[in-house]
Amino acid sequence: MNKNSEYIVEMKNCRKIFPGVVAVNDVSLFLKRGEVHALVGENGAGKSTIMKMLAGLLPMDGGEILYEGERFEPKNPMQALERGISMIHQELDLVPQMTVWENIYAGQEKLIGFGVIDRKAMINNTKQVFKELGIDLDPNSKVEELSVAQMQMVAITKAIAFDAEVIIMDEPTSAITDREVEQLFRMIKLLKGQNKSVIYISHKLDEIFQICDQITVMRDGCLIDSKPASELNQEKMIHMMVGRELSNLYQKDEPVSAEYDANEVLLEVKGLCRKGEFSDVSFEVKRGEILGISGLMGAGRTEVMETVFGLRKADSGTIKINGKEINVKNPQIAIKNGIAFVTEDRKIYGLNLMDTIRANTTMAYLKKVLYGNLVLNFKEEKKVVASLFEKLRIKAPSQETIVNNLSGGNQQKVVLAKWLMGEPDVFIMDEPTRGIDVGAKAEIYKIMDSLAKKGKSVIMISSEMPELLGMSDRIIVMHEGVITGRFLKNEYDQEKLMACSIGGK
């Protein structure tokens, strides 16, 4: 073991093959001690796959790994952890029913003797680490009671408690607020100061330049280049990632087609209230309009839209579609009246991950491809799915591909395909580009723009300021369940939106 070598990790000519696809093809990556190393690329580029090989989650099909100068072949994650390599996954692997301290010490419990765990020592150690990291959490809290950001902090603390030398963070900020991102960055700087190494996977390019020393870019399973962050900018990095220029990322630049009345109100919400969540929420959306909904996590944005879609029941208020008041008791009524809802968490609420693209695409409007009301018309179903498959440029071997095997961007396209099949008038999109790469984002924005031009209404909940500013015709801001700001296009900027998000008017 050579702890004085320049690199703590050397991955040389690594290769991973899945049935029908080379996921990682002859990729090399070198990580220095005390370095924050960004690993970037579009969804499906192979970033998570190569990191799973390092973390013992996947066996390699070629190449070698040197750890502290010695050949390293982890057979499972515990072997990697014992050597000091910890991976924090995008889908956090915590046990909700267990306490914070129990999750942190799961698999490495401290013992008094004779198999008796030292509960007091583990709680005190957790408190000490939290104090050092500036985390305000009770070790005895149940994980299921925590916010996503707090869960993220617990996962990082778990890696530190294992005394990891290399910490892999896969999309650590995909579901947390700007304020919580700042806390995460403070933790990363603290780790760096302790000569720990961090591999940072993210689609948020501005973050990479704030926190990372080195940037490695992958595309289609191959290494494109690795450079110091100081030698790159966002434009250069995007070109390396996608292999093409992405000019005019935000496509909302043309008016609604002349065949539609741009003043026609498709959705009108008045005085909507739900005790403990939101009150007196009123807004309208016109044909061809993209309405942005801004606000911090917990502002009530998602809760309002879930009520409009019938997932929650309002205590009072009215909802009108095309001027007609409807009682949205459940999602079936919303769908029948032309409302679609692209949920925030596509994996839990938007898709059946273990089924095919075809089955996922037709699940919401299955009646459209039935003989009568009972028998599935396979030929018609495949025809409909093929059309949407081509229209949305879904990257997959066929429509029979299992959705779980797709990249995040292509999974999001399947969710959109599911709703496009029904040709609804109102599309509610909750964080539509969360966890997908810049190339896939550009394609989602084009889809949103095309929907607006065809006279559809789009409601976009987003925590990404550039996305809100670039795509919205109007923006409303929420804070603690009430609307605190309403802005027309060209009236808003980042400072005004943030002021309203924290309670100003």
At residue 269 the predicted structure's pLDDT band, cuts being 50, 70 and 90, is: very high
60-64, 88-92, 355-359: the lowest-pLDDT one? 88-92
SS3 of residue 358 by DSSP: helix
**What are the residues whose beta carbons fall under 8 Å from the beta carbon of 114, sequence distance 6 or more?**
none
pLDDT in tens, 448-484: 998 999 999 999 999 878 888 889 999 999 998 999 9
Listing DSSP states for 233-286 in one string gives -HHHHHHHHHSS---SSS---SPPPTTS-TT-EEEEEEEEEETTTEEEEEEEEE
Higher per-residue confidence, 465 vs 402: 402
At residue 252 the predicted structure's pLDDT band, cuts being 50, 70 and 90, is: low
Amino acid of residue 172: P
- Which pLDDT score, from 0 to 100, does residue 257 have? 63
Question: Given a cut of 80, is residue 503 above it in pLDDT?
Answer: no
- Which pLDDT score, from 0 to 100, does residue 290 have? 94
Question: What Å distances lie between residue 338 and 308, 322, 335, 447, CA to CA?
Answer: 12, 10, 5, 18
d(CA 492, CA 77): 47
Question: Given a cut of 70, is residue 215 above it in pLDDT?
Answer: yes
269-273, 326-330, 341-345, 498-502: the lowest-pLDDT one? 498-502
pLDDT in tens, 69-124: 999 999 998 899 889 999 987 666 788 889 999 988 887 777 887 778 888 988 99
